[in-house]
Amino acid sequence: MSRVSLEGRVAVVTGAARGVGELLARKLSARGVKVALVGLEPDALKQVSGRLHSDSDHWHADVTDHEAMARVAREVKERFGRVDIVVANAGVATGGPFTDSDPESWRRVIEVNLIGSAVTARAFLPSLLRSRGYLLQIASLAAITPAPMMTAYCASKSGVEAYAHSLRAEVGHRGVKVGVGYLSWTDTDMVRGADQDDVMRELRQRLPWPSSKTYPLGPAVDRLVAGIERRSSHVYGQWWLRGMQGVRGYLPAVIGTVGQREMRRFADRLTGMRTGLVGAGGAADEQQRATLRD
């Protein structure tokens, strides 16, 4: 599929304060894209915006808040005149045994990753319909294969994958393309945060190659940018993820068997695992909700 020039286009990136969202904003900006940054950390977003090459601005908003995201959509339209690209990237994660999981944190993963993606699309689809634009939904290897100790994250990413496929069928005839971006373990604050727990780190390292590796962020984001340029239906941050699609029907049984063996191995170390959101992004989300409660 041929690439289209991104020069002069307007892109919205959620979860843009760090990690995938921050680097994606920088790489899009380097191609002449005007970028609207959305996230929960206004100071960090302001710093990211200040480092971009092209015109940009930032908005503080929780992607699960319908009214806030509708306001952002209006203000982005007023600021830039149009929206051509939306990347629903905002996400959080938690790990550990489901039976010991914190119900609030578990629910929050679903709210941010799945509901927040839908809220983002709902807010910006009117603009994308006018521009015949492109929506990239960031999913994960977790959408392709289940994994123990990641029930909320796997459920949320499987959900956004199915939701995005459904949405593609609804809006394609109106000129809007919808893509799903798949990433394996990539060097971000979220993955580093998960690795702070010894059990989670060791369990991940025992996964079969190549899913046991942590991959550099730069090449993965380059693949996302290429997918945006091609308005691709499927974008793979690591080359081997494409091949996983052909065998995904067998993976639940394989993971079920291997996972039981590994859980028995770690059984005596599961008590007392941290149950909250992981990484700096998770901390920002928890701080935001604590502020709202006060």
Catalytic residue chosen out of the listed positions 153, 163, 182, 215: 153
What distance in Å separates the CA atoms of residue 185 and residue 208, rounded to the nearest whole number? 13
What distance in Å separates the CA atoms of residue 190 and residue 85, rounded to the nearest whole number? 24
For tokens 């994660």, the residue is 93
Q: Which ranges of the chain does DSSP label H, i.e. alpha helix?
A: 19-30, 42-51, 66-80, 103-110, 116-131, 141-144, 151-171, 189-195, 198-205, 217-230, 241-244, 251-266, 279-293
What distance in Å separates the CA atoms of residue 83 and residue 159, rounded to the nearest whole number? 25
Active site residue 250: no
**Nearest-10 Cα torsion for 233, 29, 14, 88:** 0
Say if CB 63 and CB 113 are below 8 A apart.
no
Longest dimension (CA), the chain: 58
Q: Give the angle 256-262-265 at the CA atoms, nearest 5°.
A: 145
Number of other residues whose CB lies within 10 A of the CB of residue 181: 28
Closest CA to 221 of 236, 232, 233: 236
Q: Which residues are catalytic?
A: 153
